Structures are given as structure tokens and as C-alpha cells.
A and B are shown apart, each in its own frame.
Chain A
Amino acid sequence: MTDQMSHPAPPQPPRLRTTWRAGRRLALLGTATCAALLLAACGGGSAPGSSGGGGDSAAAKDTPITIGISLPLTGDFSQPGGEAKRGYQVWADMVNADGGVLGRQVKLKIVDDASNQDTVVADYTKLMTQDKVDLVLGTFSSLLNFPASAVAEKNGYVFVEPAGGAPNMFSRGFEYLFFAQPATAPHQADVFVDYVKSLPADKRPQTAAYPTQDDPFTRPVIESMQKQLEALGVKTVFSQVYPADTTNFQSIANTLKNKKPDLIAQGAVFEDGVGLVRSLKQLGYTPKALFQTSAPSNAGQYSDGVGAANTEGVFYTVSWNEQAKTPLNPEFVAAYGKAYDAALPAEDAADAFAAAQVLQKAVEATKGVDQDKIKDWLHANEVQTILGPLSWSAKGEPQGDFILAQWQSGKVQVVGPADAATSETIVYPKPPWS
């Protein structure tokens, strides 16, 4: 998929086989025993780069900085994977057009892990130990980021991940891991809770229902919101986790219709969000407010799915919006549109872009690709990205806020926090289904 890079002459004893291309040797593995024999016969191991690969800032100015990335371009996560690839690519093109990083061009080495755990481990291992890339960037979905970040930690590579905000990602005490979104899952609904708080007590929803998909990114959002709203006195009338493969939402809608909650807060990935709206409409129940996690952020797909008129008043929180006034954001949106048929970037592309920005800032600040220096710098500093400012706890958890968005007249408006809002009006209560 991407070209084989030339080795940036590692500062290690010369080896018999440095001229062998990685692929060639892999081919030899095909006859495993012969390959092992041959390799064994080559003799003489080299010491591993103790602080990760590359790390030599004295490398010639004209050699590019190689960034290794494994993404799920095929398989279950191919959709976010493809968007992430675009986000990374747009970033690299913009940076290179601007003279590169530290005066060196950036070269992305992106490989496909087919949404497979074994492959993502092999990919990153290869990138770090075989190809000895200068830097790596994270992949998509926690399923892949968990093992991939462990490989990075073992090899001492800084791992900035654009996705993977599940709480237990950060309970492992990893030092090289950084999550490039404003908040982890349990804090992503805080901005909506703040909005509810801002309402006069009699206007607040009195009862709430919390259906959520069993997904590591949606469930913690809804669970945390439920806890916070209960503390505000909102009565919980329904709370249920449904499995990821649920396709029939009529049973839930039927129950909801009977419980009549003011607020329905759904932890929806995508299709389940569409499914519940449809079923609610079929059964003719409209809550005063509808909050869904990620589903409504899939702009066109979402309004196609539920019908444009039915999007009115739906709340969601999100890490990024194309109208946000953050530095470089308009340029990113423009460059993305130029590269990809005037399409609007998806949130995943923006997150990937931001992850790359984080790494770029750290490399520029430390004037090199020394992984330990980058790590220490990131732990100590705040980075400005298209998602807003990002900073991290010692465990790599981000310490910011999401934005609250709402569908209004067929368009998405940012309605909170106040300083980021693009619209003064907030649709509440929600109008009945059309």
C-alpha cells in the first residue's frame, strides 16, 4: 500500500542483512524452517533501540520523518479506519506543503490490519522493530488500540491515539499513551448535564430513560449522565443496556411509550440510534428531549436514516464540529473537501488530524523524535488542536470538554459550551415527530 521506506541508518553495529528488504525476508518465512535456518545462519543480533526506534535528531535534514500507522481499512472497523486515514493524510499534506516538521518532510507508512487484533500487533511490531519508523500514531477502535498501545509501551514509542476513550484504557499505568480527544467516555456528557443544570428547575426534565448499547464508548457516557442527572433530581424510569447486534427497537420503544419519560438519553453508536427513533415514531411517542451519543454526529447518514424532519431538536455531544472556530479547523475542512469530492470530514477524520497535530507539536517543541522527550513534554504541556486545547493526566487521560450539538432545521448547530456556540436558540421541548 505505501512504499517501503529506506532505513534512516540506525546507530547500531553493521549487520549482514541490513540490505535485505523486509518484504523479501518475509517471503522467506514462507518456508518457515528454511527461513529460520537462514536467519539463524546470518548470526549476530543487534541491540534493540532502548528508547524506541529512530531517535536520532542528527539524521540528515533531507530524510523524511516516517510515521507508522496501522489502520482497519478493511473488516469491521473499515469505516472509521478509512476516515482516520483521510484525516492523517490531510494533515501530512498540509504539513508538507508548509515545509514539513523541523524542516523534514513527513512520510506516512499506513498499513491495513483488517480489523484484526493479531494483525495490528504484528503491524506495529513490524513498524517499530523492523522498519524502525521515527514515530507512530494510533489506530481506531479500542479493540485494536488496546493491544497496539501495549506494543508501543513495550517498545517505548509514544502512542497518540485518535480513538479509544474507554475508561480502562487509562488504568494500566502506561506512560507513552495519549488520547487525542477532549474527554474520556465518562466525561463526554458533562456538557449536556451542564445544560440541564442551567435550566430553571420546573423546566428540567422530571423523568428520564437511559437505553444504551453495550459499547465501551457509549455505555460509560450514559451511565455517567444517569448518575449526574439523578443527583440533580431527575427520576430514572428506565435504564437498560442492549446488545450491539440488536436490530429490533420496537420492544424498547413500546416500553418507553408506556413509561413516558421526559428525556430519552440513548447511548447509540449509529444504526441503533436510527432504529430507536424510527420505532418511537412508529409507536407515536415523542419525549421532551432526545439525547443520543454518537449516532447524530453522522450527519448525512443520520438524517437519511431517520428522515430529515425527525432530526429536529436531537442533542448529542461530540469531540469536534466542522464549524468550530478552533485554529486551523477551517483550513482542515477546506483541505479535506478539496481532497475528497467536497465531502465534509467525519469526526473520526478530525480526531485523527488532531492526534497528528499533537505529535507534531511535541516533536517541534523537543526538536527531535526522541520518544522519551516527547512523552515528558506532552505530560507537561497543553496542545492546541482543531478540537480545542488538549492536555493529559499522568495516565494519558485528556482533561477537556466535549461540545454539545443539536440538530436544528436540518442542520447541526453547536449549542454549548456557550463560548463555542454557533446558535443562540436551543430547541426544547422537542417538537412531535413529523
Chain B
Amino acid sequence: MTELLQAVILGLLIGGVYALMASGLTLVFGVMNIINVAQGAFLIFVAMVTWWLWKHTGIDPILASVITTPMMFGLGWVLYRTVIVRIRGSSPSMSVLLTFGLALTIEGILNITAGNKFKSATPSYFEESFRVGDISLPKSQVYGFLAAMLVLAVLYVVLTRTWMGRAIRASSQNPSGAALVGVGATSTAALAFALGASTSGVGGSILSVLYPFFPASHYDWISRLLGIIVLGGMGSLPGALVGALVLGLAETLTATYGSLRWATLVFYVVILAVLLFRPQGLFGTRLREDVAV
């Protein structure tokens, strides 16, 4: 029973962090119909930066997201304005190829600059736990989870309560209508892409404490995140949250009661099953353009 409870709690804590990481991916997809395959590489890049900051300045890795988040927002904006914008209006497959190239480029740069070694930030509390009865709550996971939830809440408020957020949502639902009322498609898309990238600022900083990483880790992460948003419904923010929690739980439970060897496969099995039985995902709404057979 303790084992089960412990597994469930660990699964939910991990799921919360997954949710934050997936939110940027689903946001960018929702607004631009672009699958940003480079989102995983963003995460690893930020984790590397966080690790470097922690190593050289001693700043707490999770707190370092105060630096990495604006950095990724800026980077996302610049990337959109200089690179992504060039393929607006091309077929969606081009955006997949472009962001895939971007992911490889980031991986290659990290290979050269940071070296092909596993890294992990280890602040003083990384090995400590809160204890509730027999249950241990690792502090790093709790902090990571809380930070993730906080940022998701802020993201939600930004999207629903600010002009920028409304503009982003408007142009995701009706680009031409949004353009009519003065919401420029390009600048909104740049904002959305930057916002999506900035979630990897916090996500990557948390990752640096929770998981060892190296440049090629991004494939694991992107496939995990894609699994989450396919499950939740592509483009849906609540879907990403629920999908992440479900998959975090599934992964932890498979690892505890089944075999850890197959835990990773759970993600892919879920993707296939979802596509087979509910292609739009748990929270996906089928819009006019994608209902066609």
C-alpha cells in the first residue's frame, strides 16, 4: 500500500513537470499548426545553461529559471522572426523538417561546447526528502512540481487575462478574423512561439536538477512530450496537463509493478492507442479544417 501510494505520488510529481514542458509545445501547435520538434532541444539547452550557471555562480538551479525564462522568450522571438517566419504558408511538413534541423543544430552546438557527457545540477537539497509517515517526497521533485504548477498558472492567466494572451488565442481560433481587428498574425505568432519557448526556460531548469542529461537526450524528451499532447489533444492546454499526469503515473506504475525496461514504451503504446480510438485526444476539439476524413 505504501509502495502504491509512493508510486502514485512520484508519478503525479513527475507528471506536473511534464505538463509544464508540454504546454509550450501544445501552445505553439495550437496557434501556428507547427509541431516544434526542437522543443526537446530547447529543454536540454536550458538545462545546460542552468547547470553552467549553477556550477559557476552557485545560483539555485530552479531559481535560475528567473534568468533562463526571459532568455528563452527572447531566443524564441528571435528564432521566429529570423527563421521560422520564412516558412509561414509552406506546407506543415516543412515546419517539421525545419524544427527537426533546428533540434539537430542545437544538439550539435551543445556537443561541441558542453561536451558529450551526462550532467546534472546537484544543489544542497537534491538528496533530501520531506517525510510524511512512510512516504518520502524528494525535495527537488516537490520544488520542481511547485515551480511547474506556478508557471502553468501564470501561463493560464497570461493567456486568458492579458491582451497578448487574448490576441494569441484569437489568432489560433480565427487568424483572418483576428487580423481584421488588428491582431497581426506575424507578431502574434512570434509572441506565441516566444511564450512556448519560454516554458522550456522553467522546464529545462527543473530538468537539470531532476534528471541527468546530455546533448542527445532531447529525442527522449520530445517523444515524451509529443506523447503527452497527442494524449491530451493537440493544441489543448488542459489536455497537456491531464495527459502529462496520466503518462507520469503510467510510467511510474509500470516501472514499479511491471518492468522498468518497458516503462518507456508505455508512452508510445499510449500514442498509438489514442490515435486508434480517439484521434483528437482527450481534450481535443475537432475544428472545421481537421474534421475532414
Contact = CB atoms under 8 A, between A and B. Distances in A.
Contact of B211 (A76, A248, A252, A283): A248
A396 B32 CA distance: 59
A305 B138 contact: no
Given A283-B136, A305-B122, A79 B116 contact: yes
Most buried by B among A78, A250, A258: A250
B259 A240 contact: yes
Interface string B116-134: 1110101000111101000
Given A76-B116, A255-B3, A278-B126, A242 B261 contact: yes
Nearest to A214: B261
A254 B127 contact: no
A281 B7 CA distance: 17
A245 B260 contact: no
Interface residues of B, number: 40
A240 B260 contact: yes
A251 B212 CA distance: 16
B290 interface: no
Residues of B contacting A: mostly = helix
Contacts of A305: 120, 122, 212
A274 interface: yes
B261 A241 contact: yes
A284 interface: yes
Contacts of B10: 250-251, 254
B186 interface: no
A6 interface: no
Given A240-B259, A242-B260, A246-B260, A78 B129 contact: no
Interface residues of A, number: 36
Most buried by B among A251, A252, A271: A251
A247 B212 contact: yes
Given A271-B212, A282-B128, A284-B136, A79 B261 contact: no
Interchain residue pairs A-B with the least CB separation, the first 8 = A251-B255, A271-B212, A271-B118, A242-B260, A247-B211, A282-B138, A281-B127, A78-B116
Interface of A: 74-76, 78-79, 214, 240-243, 245-248, 250-252, 254-255, 258, 270-271, 274-275, 278-279, 281-284, 301, 304-305, 307, 310, 433
17 contacts: A79-B116, A243-B260, A243-B261, A243-B264, A248-B210, A248-B251, A250-B141, A251-B255, A251-B260, A252-B260, A254-B3, A271-B118, A278-B126, A282-B136, A282-B138, A282-B140, A305-B212
